[in-house]
Amino acid sequence: MSKPMKKLTIYLTVLATILSIFVITVFAANTTSVTLANKTSNSFTVNVTFPVSGATGNKLELFDQATKKTYNFDGITQANVLNGAYTAKNLTPDTTYIIRLTYLSDNKSVYKDYSLKTAQAIVQAPYKQVTPQQAYAMMQKYKNYTILDVRPKTEYDKSRIAGAISMPYADVANRAPAELKDKYALIFVYCAAGCSASSLAANDLDNMGYMNVFDIKGGITAWPYGTASGSTNTTAIPNTNTTAIANTTASTNTTQPSSSKGYTTITPQQAYTIMQKNKNYTLIDVRPKANYDLKRIDGAISMPYADLASRAPVELPNKNALIFVICQKGVTSPKASADLVAMGYTNVYEIGGGMDNWPYATVSNTTTANTTAIANTTSNTTTANTTAIANTTSNTTTTNTTASTNTTQPSSSKGYTTITPQQAYTIMQQNKNYTLIDVRPKANYDLKRIDGAISMPYADLASRAPVELPNKNALILVICQMGVTSPKAAADLVAMGYTNIYEISGGMNNWPYATVSN
C-alpha cells in the first residue's frame, strides 16, 4: 500500500473512532432509565441512569404514591447523583411507590417518574392531575410549556386559557406527534368542566411517550385566572415579557390591551406584579361602598358601578392612564371595564375573580396606614418591599417592613394550621416577627429557598428547635419540598409545646413567589 493510501486509511480510522464516540455520547446524554435489579416484599434495588452521571441537578427520590411519604435510597445524597444501583429498604409490602429522577436539560429542571409495586414490573408513571391553582403556579415557575385545549374549536374561540393551543381531542393522535416534538416538554391539558376528554387526551399523550403531562381538574369552568377569546391565540399567562402586563413604566404605557374586548383580563397575581412595579395607576373598586369599607385593597378608589358613568369622566380625565378594575367575584368588573373602554379609556385591566380571589394584604375603615395601593404601609415608593419573600437581592434574614404581633392560635384540630403559599405570603407581608423553617435537606435549601428562611432539616428539628426557638408562642411557618415532610415537622413542633405553627401546603414545588440561592 502506498504511503498516501496508508495516511488516508489512518485518517479515516481515527475519524470513524471520533464519530463513534460522539454518537455514543449523544445517545447516552439522552438516556434516562430505571430498571429493576432485585425485589423483596419490603425492599427493592434499581439500576438508575441519568443523562449525565453525577451532573448538577441530578436527584433520585422515592415516595409512597398514596400517602406521599418519602423514603431514602441507600448510598445517595439528593445532589449530583451518580448512575448506578440503589436500594430502598423497610418498605410496606404490596404498596405502589414512585421513583422520581430529576435532572437538568437545556438549563431546565425536568423529571421522569416510574412506579413500582410488589410483584409488578417497573412502568412509566401515568399522567398527573393538578388543580388550576397548581397548574398556574407551575406556569409561573416554568417559561417553556404548552397548554392544549381539547374542546371543539368553537368553544375554544369563545373562551380559553390565555396561550392555549386548540387541539380537539379527535385530532390529538394525529397532530401531537407532528406539533409536539419534545417528549420531555411540560404539557397541560384541559377541557370544558373536567370532562373525560382531557383525561383521555392526557392518557393518549402518556402512551405516546410524553413524559410531563398534566390534566387540569375542572377544566376551563374551574379556571379562576385570565382567559382570552377570539380566533387568535394570545400570550400564555406567565410570559410577562412581551405583553402590556410587563410594562413597568405605566406613565408612558402605550401598549393597547390584547383582549378583543378592548380591555385585558388579568389575574390578581399579574395585577399585584404591575402595581409593585408602577407608581402611576388607578385602582377602581366598583363594589357597593359598604363592601369597600369592610375590606379593600389599600389605595383603591371606591366608585360603585352605578356611579361609574357619571364619575369616571370627571375624576379620571386622562384617557390613557393605567386603570385597574375590581369587584367582588369578577362579575361586575368586566361590565365596568367595557363601559370604560366605551368612554374612550385605552389602558384598562380587569382583575379576574375579584376580591374573593385576592390573596394579598387588604385594609378596612379601621386601618390607619392606608398609603399605597398594595400592602406597602411605609411610603409611596415603588418596589420597597423588603420582606423575606420578595427580596431577591440579598441573602439576609427576616427584615419584614409591616409590623404585627400575630397571636392567633392555629385553628386546626392537629394543633397547627395548614395554609396555602398565598396565605403564607400575606402573613409574611403583614408581620415582622415570624420564623420560617425550611425542613428540607441543606443541599435543597442551598439550591433554592425563600429569602429569610432558616435551614433546619427535619432530622435536626428535635435537637435544634428547643435551643434556637425558645419562644413557644412565636409565629412559626414550616415548609418542605412537596408538602410531605412539613406536616410531620409541624406536628413535632406542636408536641414540643409550640402554639402558633403554620404549615405551608405543597412546599417549595408550589411556591409561586421570588426565591434566592447560594
The tens-digit pLDDT sequence of the chain (518 residues) is 566 666 656 666 655 555 444 443 433 345 788 887 777 767 888 888 888 888 888 888 888 877 878 888 876 766 788 888 888 888 887 788 889 888 888 788 888 888 877 554 444 456 788 888 888 888 877 767 899 999 988 889 888 888 889 999 888 988 998 888 877 778 999 998 756 788 888 888 887 878 788 999 888 888 888 778 776 443 333 332 222 222 222 232 323 333 456 888 888 888 888 887 776 889 999 999 988 988 899 889 999 998 998 899 888 888 888 899 999 988 889 889 988 988 888 889 899 888 988 888 888 875 433 322 322 222 223 232 322 322 323 333 333 333 233 333 333 457 898 898 888 888 888 877 899 999 998 888 988 899 889 999 998 998 899 888 989 989 999 999 988 889 999 999 998 999 999 999 988 988 888 888 87
C-alpha cell at 484: 410531605
pLDDT of the residue at 147: 93
Contact 479, 451 (CB under 8 A): no
CA–CA separation, 25 and 182 (whole Å):
20
| Alpha-carbon dihedral sign for residues 97, 102, 105, 109 | positive
Q: Report the DSSP beta bridge partners of residue 112.
A: 101
pTM as predicted: 0.29
Tell me the H-state helices in 185-285: 196-207, 219-222, 268-277
What is the reported pLDDT for 404? 32
With b meaning 16 or more CB within 10 Å and e meaning fewer, what string describes 180-204? beeebbbbbbbbbebbebbbbbbbb
Backbone angles phi, psi at 192, to 5 degrees: -80, -60
Contact of 307 with 332, CB cutoff 8 Å: no
Contact indicator for 288, 304 with CB cutoff of 8 Å: yes
**Is residue 267 within 8 Å of residue 353, measured between CB atoms?**
yes
Q: How far apart are CA 201 and CA 216, in angstroms?
A: 12
Q: How far, rounded to the nearest angstrom, does the alpha carbon of residue 84 sit from its chain's CA centroid? A: 32
Residue 266 per-residue DSSP state: E
Contact 349, 333 (CB under 8 A): no
Nearest alpha carbon to residue 217 among 131, 149, 127, 126: 131
Q: Which residues of 228-246 are buried (b: 16+ CB within 10 A; e: fewer)?
A: bbeeebbbbbbbbeebbbe
